[in-house]
Amino acid sequence: MAVVHVTTDNFEQEVLKAEQTVMVDFWAAWCGPCKMLSPIVDQIAEEHPEIKVCKVNIDEEPSLAIDYKVMSIPTLLVFKNGEKVNMSIGVQSKADIEAMLA
């Protein structure tokens, strides 16, 4: 499944109202660790069609970062049934991310 780019306008629909588990990657273009994590996030999206993978550019959507208390990037948040159930900060291995989603 392709990665969905989320904004303030579609966050509720794409993330909070999603029927499946959703992983949201909070990132920025200038962030080196975000660039390291991005291919892993893309792999998860391709290999796990049961997971909806979204990305939020914090420079374009600072209010979402504030709402979800994202203090450092990259941050991954996992949502189930509209509720945040897990999170990680910094670059994670693919195995660690898959474990977080299980």
Residues involved in catalysis: 31, 34
SS (H, E, C) 39-72: HHHHHHHHHCCCCEEEEEECCCCHHHHHHCCCCC
